[in-house]
């Protein structure tokens, strides 16, 4: 901080000093109180520019999707101000301190990079409260017109109309017309009645032919890129099998209420298929492996990717070390990850590092399907809807609930024998869940 001295002429200084002294003296006399200083102190407000935060090592940019606060509004410390959409997750940007939002430095749908200036906040300032979403601007009611300004009634209109003279055209039109004579009727041209189809033109179409163009989100673009990359890179092949779900459905029906009461989680079919898959992966380790360069990486753990449908697309959060978890623990993990996915709160750590994927299209009614491998994984298990079908049991045709399961695998890593063996093991475990306790 530098100080600067300003030279003022002596006459000016004396006049200013005299004026100030007179003002002070007059002020004290009027107030009738002890002299007080004419200085005041104010809180120093600090404007802070907030930048786009670091998202992850592999993410350097994103799309500014939503501003949750507008300039002039009050913000609390750590309150979410904006949301940045990336290829994988939504990144919230929070206020560093309480204050007032001063300015947006980027617009919605702009591409922003890490470290870029995003918004300005004035710490400690008081802003306006955010308007409620359902608040609508009040429409100004027009003042009611007095009775004299209202539209005249029919009888008034009739009274206001001038009475036409007998020679006026209106008087002639109001008189009933005399019937035409015989000669006039004979001379009048005869009009032929046209068919209804000819008299009416083509009926106008009522169907809409509108089009709507919506920009693809970053997540949708990334999903499309990865799926196409999987088709181009992996030697994909799919094999199928059918599972009699009677035993598993009986077990679930018997214990689901007790599990819900004791553990506050619903016992579904996903936990059984997850456990059966981890046991089958022990026997077929190639299904839990991946290719890195010219090497195959085998793992003695299973990080299970579970496909979850969200409004923005399909995501695959990971259940870590699924091979060490029981039915209830797996259900708890899946329920927690599913809630985070639907709320848009998944982190990169939640979705990275999966070794095997399970996708349950049956919840949407799918009967058959060939899931796509989630690279760099080697295989993905697809579950489908349960339908009653006639099957042969001990030489008798009976109706059983049947699910078709599919395994899409990378033929570069797995041979057909290994893939079929994997499905057979899953089938055996699901059709007799007690076997999973002995494995």
Mode of pairing for the β-strands spanning 46-51 and 308-310: unpaired
What the block records as the tokens of 310 is 């969200």
Query: What does residue 18 show for φ and ψ, rounded to 5 degrees?
Result: -65, -40
Q: Do 59 and 87 form a contact (C-beta atoms < 8 A)? A: yes
State the DSSP H helix or E strand holding residue 41, giving kind and residue range, or none if neither.
none
Which residue among the candidates 257, 343, 411, 432 is catalytic per the annotation? 411
Alpha helices in 296-363 (DSSP H): 327-342, 348-351
DSSP symbols for 348-382: HHHHS--SEEEEEGGGGT-----PPP-TT-SEEEE
d(CA 138, CA 132): 14
Give the position of tokens 């046209």: 194
Mode of pairing for the β-strands spanning 304-306 and 318-319: antiparallel
Q: Do 108 and 84 form a contact (C-beta atoms < 8 A)? A: no
Which residue among the candidates 78, 117, 415, 432 is catalytic per the annotation? 415
Q: Do 52 and 84 form a contact (C-beta atoms < 8 A)? A: yes
**Does 40 participate in catalysis according to the annotation?**
no
Query: What does residue 391 show for φ and ψ, rounded to 5 degrees?
Result: -130, 160
**Does 135 participate in catalysis according to the annotation?**
no
- Cβ-Cβ contacts under 8 Å for 69 (sequence gap 6 or more): 75, 79, 81, 82, 101, 130
What the block records as the tokens of 63 is 């799309």
Q: Do 384 and 245 form a contact (C-beta atoms < 8 A)? A: no
Enzyme catalytic residues: 411, 415
């Amino acid at each position: 901080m530098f100080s600067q001295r300003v030279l003022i002429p002596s006459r000016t200084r004396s006049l200013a000093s005299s004026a100030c002294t007179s003002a002070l003296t007059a002020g004290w006399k009027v107030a009738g109180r002890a002299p007080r200083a004419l200085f005041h102190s104010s809180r120093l407000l600090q404007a802070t520019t907030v930048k786009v935060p670091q998202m992850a090592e592999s993410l350097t940019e994103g799309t500014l999707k939503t501003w949750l606060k507008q300039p002039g509004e009050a913000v609390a410390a750590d309150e979410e101000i904006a949301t940045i959409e990336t290829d994988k997750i939504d990144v919230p940007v929070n206020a560093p301190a309480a204050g007032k939002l001063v300015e947006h430095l980027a617009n919605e749908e702009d591409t922003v990079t890490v470290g870029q200036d995003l918004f300005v906040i004035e710490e400690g300032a008081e802003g306006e409260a955010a308007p409620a979403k359902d608040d609508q601007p009040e429409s100004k009611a027009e003042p009611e017109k007095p009775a004299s300004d209202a539209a005249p009634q029919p009888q008034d209109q009739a009274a206001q109309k001038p009475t036409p003279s007998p020679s006026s055209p209106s008087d002639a039109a109001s008189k009933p017309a005399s019937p035409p004579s015989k000669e006039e009727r004979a001379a009048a041209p005869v009009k032929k009645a046209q068919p209804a189809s000819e008299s009416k033109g083509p009926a106008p179409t009522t169907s809409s032919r509108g089009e709507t163009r919506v920009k693809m989100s970053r997540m949708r673009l990334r999903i499309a890129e990865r799926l196409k990359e999987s088709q181009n890179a992996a030697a994909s092949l799919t094999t199928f099998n059918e599972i009699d779900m009677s035993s598993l459905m009986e077990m679930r029906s018997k214990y689901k209420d007790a599990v819900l009461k004791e553990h506050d989680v619903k016992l579904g079919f996903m936990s059984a298929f997850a456990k059966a898959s981890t046991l089958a992966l022990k026997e077929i380790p190639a299904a839990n492996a991946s290719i890195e360069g010219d090497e195959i990486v085998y793992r003695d753990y299973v990080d299970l990717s579970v496909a979850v449908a969200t409004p923005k697309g399909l995501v695959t959060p990971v259940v870590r070390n699924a091979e060490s978890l029981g039915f209830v623990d797996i259900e708890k993990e899946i329920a927690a990850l599913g809630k985070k996915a639907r709320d848009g709160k998944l982190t990169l750590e939640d979705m990275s590092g999966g070794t095997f994927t399970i996708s349950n299209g049956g919840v949407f009614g799918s009967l058959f399907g060939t899931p796509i491998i989630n690279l760099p994984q080697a295989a993905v298990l697809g579950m489908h809807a349960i339908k009653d079908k006639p099957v042969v049991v001990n030489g008798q045709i009976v109706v059983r609930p049947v699910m078709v399961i599919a395994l899409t695998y990378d033929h570069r890593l797995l041979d057909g024998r290994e893939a079929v063996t994997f499905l057979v093991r899953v089938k055996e475990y699901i059709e007799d869940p007690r076997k999973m306790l002995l494995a």
